[in-house]
A = this chain, B = another copy of it.
Amino acid sequence: MPTKTAADGFVERVELSGHIIDSLLLPKVLDHITAAGGRFEIEQITVGQAQRDPSFAVIAVHAPSADRLQQILADIADHGAVPVDSQDARLVAADIAGAFPEGFYSTTNQRTEVRLAGRWIEVQDQEMDCGVLIESSRHTPCAVDQDGTSSRQTPSAVMDGTSSRQTPSAVMDGTRSVPTTMTARCAAMTDVKIGQTYVVGHAGVRVRPEERQAKSHGFEFMNSPVSTEKPKGVAIRQIALELLRTRREGGKALLVGGPAIVHTGSVEHVSRLLRGGYIHRLFAGNALATHDIEQALFGTSLGVRLDSGDIIEAGHEHHLRAINRIRRLGGIRRAVETGELKSGIMHECVKHNVEFLLAGSIRDDGPLPEVITDTLVAQAKMREQIRDVTFCLMVATTLHSIAVGNLLPAWVKVVCVDINPSTVIKLADRGSFQTVGLVTDVEPFFRALVADVELLAGSTK
């Protein structure tokens, strides 16, 4: 259908598909349009019958000015509304290192595609709050889907966007009419180099929001992340099943953990999961590793005996002596290799080749030699290590959980466990909507989880 000429000005027709009613996409999109001063007509709507069946709508978006229309289209694009008649993404070269061009397209954590030369290319390394870096690579062709309805165009770096300070130039490789292989990937602000090409604006970008989990899915009830009055056994069993499935299918499970794991007496539980091959990465800070090692060396955590609950005299020094000992030995790995460190979470990680990443913070004592004290370096390493993570269990750490939540794409399942509802709320507030929250206590949680995992592993043998 051709675009209608409307009395009130500017019109663009967009499509929306998926569980648009169930997942609130349609109401959100309509809401955005009117809230931003636009108007809509629903030209076509088909509502999926079953839970699995997608729905589909075609909406004519009207706005009083071209600018307003662009703003509206940009807004609703994040919710998956794609113009029926699309155009290529606008590309601008970075003029300053470490900063995007003005008007850069700011990514979500949802699957995203950009249109280049009429083709939709999936953005790699999806991560929220990044820019989309476009690179040409002759030698490593990437999978490019074809868009049937569009004309074939060469990507053109639009330089008139007022945001640039150089002369308009041509396509990245300079050979304008030669179709090259293009890739798109998320890049962090600090990694921007002068001359790199970034997507600007929302045109030619489409987002495919992750479908909400089906209603009857067991995790679903936990989506109200803050209620503590829910059946916990069911939730824990499902997390156990998830760990088993991950191991069976060769996925990677990441544990992001805080020191309360040690303080509450959960070291042995986590050690069993590590030995059992249920956890494949550990992200933590200096505190978890320190108290774990303190326990291994002194039997205490923050000076509290973990076998009796007693407070040890001068025990508050133990964590510092533990750090000092490990620093003298040259690091955690060396301490394990030399036999000084004989038990605990860090010991199991070394013994079972579970990669661990200890990120520094300003409240660290010491820190341990393996701690990465530069936060940008730590972020970069975390980015690398989450690439193949398929399940993430965050326990009792707000800082690390939010950091990881910022890096993970929306389709990785995340379970966040904390006794403090505010941590879970903070994660949800920050847009990690795929996060399932469980407000419960760390030690009993791990105790029950290990029991379930081992029971289920036995029964499925």
Interface residues of A (CB under 8 A from B): 21-22, 24, 26-27, 30-32, 34-36, 39-40, 42, 45, 47, 49-51, 71, 74-75, 78, 96, 98-100, 102, 104, 106, 129, 189-190, 215-216, 218, 220-222, 224, 226-236, 238, 259-260, 263-265, 301-302, 304, 306-311, 313-314, 316-317, 320-321, 323-325, 327-328, 359-367, 373-376, 378-379, 382, 398-400, 402-403, 406, 419-422, 425, 429, 431, 439-445, 447-448
The complex places the Cα of A400 from the Cα of B45 at a distance, in Å, of 46
A96 to chain B minimum Cβ distance, whole angstroms, is: 5
The answer to whether A229 touches B429 (Cβ under 8 A) is yes
Give the chain B neighbours of A316 by CB distance below 8 A.
431
Complex partner residue of A422 from B228, B314, B320, CB under 8 angstroms = B228
Complex partner residue of A441 from B218, B362, B400, B419, CB under 8 angstroms = B419
Give the chain B neighbours of A265 by CB distance below 8 A.
231-234
The answer to whether A227 touches B429 (Cβ under 8 A) is yes
The answer to whether B441 touches A310 (Cβ under 8 A) is no
Give the chain B neighbours of A26 by CB distance below 8 A.
21
The complex places the Cα of A231 from the Cα of B305 at a distance, in Å, of 8
The answer to whether A231 touches B443 (Cβ under 8 A) is yes
Give the chain B neighbours of A39 by CB distance below 8 A.
49
Complex partner residue of A375 from B306, B324, B373, CB under 8 angstroms = B373
Give the chain B neighbours of A34 by CB distance below 8 A.
49-51
A110 to chain B minimum Cβ distance, whole angstroms, is: 13
- Contact A321:B75 (CB < 8 A) given known A21-B30, A228-B420: no
Residue of B nearest to A234 (CB): B309
The answer to whether B228 touches A260 (Cβ under 8 A) is yes
> Mind listing 12 A-B residue pairs with CB under 8 Å?
A24-B27, A31-B215, A45-B45, A102-B328, A106-B321, A189-B320, A218-B308, A230-B264, A360-B362, A362-B403, A373-B374, A422-B422
Residue of B nearest to A57 (CB): B47
Complex partner residue of A327 from B98, B301, B320, CB under 8 angstroms = B98
Residue of B nearest to A418 (CB): B228
- Contact A309:B230 (CB < 8 A) given known A402-B363, A403-B362: yes
The answer to whether B189 touches A327 (Cβ under 8 A) is yes
The complex places the Cα of A301 from the Cα of B259 at a distance, in Å, of 31
